[in-house]
Amino acid sequence: MVGRIVGTGSYVPEHVVTNDDLSKIMDTNDEWIRDRSGIAERRISMDEGTSQMAAKAAGKALEDAGMSADELDIIILATSTQDNLFPAGACEVQEMLGAVNAAAFDLSAACSGFLFGISIVNAFIQAGIYQNGLVIGAETLSKVMDWSDRSTCVLFADGAGAAVLKADETGIRHTLMGADGKKGSVLSCVGRTNGNFLNGRTPEFGYTYMDGREVFKFAVKKIPECVDEILEESGESIDEVRWFVLHQANRRIIEAAARRLKQPIEKFPMNIETYGNTSSASIPILLDEINHKGMLKRGDKIIIAGFGAGLTWGAALVEW
């Protein structure tokens, strides 16, 4: 048995922030942001936290799967912007959904988090331990942006996406996960500084820092490598792949990956223009979008791939 994606759902906050809106609070403009990233607008949460958005996306995914919350064995919330250090956001989601039989925990792998999540749930299903799992990617990145750092804050946004996995004969065929901690400093958001009564320091939160060029170089190399590796492991031909669902970080990264893989750009659905980079949520939001547009047919082979802070990367070959 393997995990098959039997339901998807997504949720984004109502508040739309356009590039022109940002140009009113910092030295930037619509042309620069569109040209360099492909982003036109993004959603920013006014009041909703990560767990609330995660639960909304998850509720829709369960409905889509025709599954009730108490059938879930495991809930993984992939996020870097959990509302609290503890309890885990996944436990809050479990409570909000009424998923009383599910183990629940958060997973920190930044933009690769959703991929890591489905790899883990798939492994539990393959091992015969669990039958039904829920993987959510949800972020309120707006709260960890330095809104005076125009090179980074214009890219990131808030949102949530989810997928329900069920044990079946076909589904997730191969997954890979990777990490390179040596490159950690190119994309980071330092947490609480060590403050306590002995050293007299007050705990402080940091903001997101990114060396955009380094991350860009890494991504355009790593994404095609991941795709090649997953195809080689599965013995599948690239031309048999219907869709490449990639992490929505930058339109130029996706276009470069398509060129390197010698595949038509039409096989790479994108929604970065509307939602910006929602980190762990970007892949499940896109997956939900193409699912509900009727672009996914039973038996379609799709490759999902992403990269992010850590640095981390992951990919999966999925039979729909």
Nearer to ligand UT7, 221 or 292 (CB): 221
What distance in Å separates the CA atoms of residue 189 and residue 205, rounded to the nearest whole number?
9
Nearer to ligand UT7, 37 or 132 (CB): 37
Catalytic residue (one of 122, 153, 226, 247): 247
Nearer to ligand UT7, 59 or 178 (CB): 178
Q: Among this protein's residues, is 101 annotated catalytic?
A: no
Residues contributing to the site for ligand UT7 (CB under 6 A): 28, 32-33, 36-37, 111, 150-151, 154, 212-213, 215-216, 219, 249-250, 253, 277, 279, 308
Q: Among this protein's residues, is 277 annotated catalytic?
A: yes
Catalytic residue (one of 122, 132, 277, 291): 277
Catalytic residue (one of 111, 153, 189, 226): 111
User: 35: buried, middle or exposed (CB in 10 Å: 19+, 13-18, 0-12)?
Assistant: exposed
Closest CA to 80 of 47, 105, 113: 113
Nearer to ligand UT7, 2 or 311 (CB): 311
User: 266: buried, middle or exposed (CB in 10 Å: 19+, 13-18, 0-12)?
Assistant: exposed
Using an 8 Å Cβ cutoff, are 157 and 272 in contact? no
Q: How far is the CB of 156 from ligand UT7 (least distance, A)?
A: 8
Q: How far is the CB of 243 from ligand UT7 (least distance, A)?
A: 20
Beta strands in 66-200 (DSSP E): 74-78, 103-107, 132-140, 158-168, 172-179, 187-189
Nearer to ligand UT7, 36 or 260 (CB): 36
Q: How far is the CB of 32 from ligand UT7 (least distance, A)?
A: 4
CA neighbours within 13 Å on the CB side: how many for 271? Answer: 21
Q: How far is the CB of 152 from ligand UT7 (least distance, A)?
A: 7
Q: How far is the CB of 42 from ligand UT7 (least distance, A)?
A: 13
Q: Is cis: bond before 87, omega within 30 of 0?
A: yes
Residue nearest to ligand UT7 (CB): 212
Instruction: Count the neighbouring beta carbons within 10 Å of the beta carbon of residue 283.
Output: 29
Catalytically annotated residues: 111, 247, 277
